[in-house]
Amino acid sequence: MDSVAARFPYFVKRELEEGDETARLDWTIIESDVNKPFVSSGLEFVPLPVMHGEGYVCLGFLFGRKARVAYLSDVSRILPRTEHTISKSGAGQLDLLILETNQLHGVGNGRSCHLTLSETLMLSRGYALRKPC
């Protein structure tokens, strides 16, 4: 076994030395369905599907009971089911809407995977926040 371990160390279990430890990941598939919330660390999250460029769906998240927060990053367009979920007529009024942007001005060129600041500001006006900042 020693000769196998010497030539193919990845085949055998060995004692890890300090600093060689790695984290173990517990992968969980999150469905992109606003009607299928999940709980992590005791907090309920509602997945919010958004477009990250055309043809690629990315997830933002809605969370919080006393204060409702929607976090949307990597977004080029908000899908109708997500718009409804974060609207006052959907799951209820938001307290905070976090939108990511990576360009200052203008409108995206159609190939962009992110909102511009101008688009983010226009979009954010469409949501009635409980306490606007």
| Number of helical H runs and strand E runs in the chain | 3, 8
Total length of the chain: 133
**pLDDT-above-90 percentage for the chain:** 32
pTM of the model: 0.73
pLDDT tens sequence across 60-87: 999 998 889 999 998 988 999 999 998 8
Rounded distance between C-alpha atoms, residue 105 and residue 1, angstroms: 64
- Could you give the domains of the chain? 32-124 (3.60.15.10)
Rounded distance between C-alpha atoms, residue 115 and residue 103, angstroms: 7
What mean pLDDT, rounded, does the chain reach?
83
Contact at 8 Å (CB) between 46 and 61? yes
Q: Report the pLDDT averaged over residues 50-62.
A: 91
Give the torsion sign (CA, 118, 122, 124, 129).
Answer: positive
Given this model, what pLDDT does residue 46 score?
95
pLDDT tens sequence across 80-127: 999 999 887 776 778 899 998 887 766 555 567 888 888 888 888 777
- Nearest Cα residue to 91 out of 54, 116, 124, 63: 63
